[in-house]
Amino acid sequence: MKKFPRSYLQRFKHQEELAARSTMVEPRLQTLQ
């Protein structure tokens, strides 16, 4: 396994959090419409 810069890992983790939030928020928005 390669060693990634900590900033890269933090950015990747942040993208995962955004994706998780979007998947949780999108169904709610669809139900509101």
List, for residues 1-33, the tens digit of each pLDDT value: 677 778 888 888 888 888 888 777 776 666 665
Distance CA 11, CA 1 (A): 18
Predicted local distance difference test score (pLDDT) of residue 23: 77
Per-residue model confidence (pLDDT) at position 33: 59
Q: Which residue has the tokens 């419409």?
A: 33
Distances (CA, A) of 7 to 3, 13, 20, 33: 12, 10, 20, 38
pLDDT at 27: 67
Q: What are phi and psi of 5, to 5 degrees?
A: -60, 145
Please state the pTM of the whole predicted model: 0.45
How much is the pLDDT for 32? 63
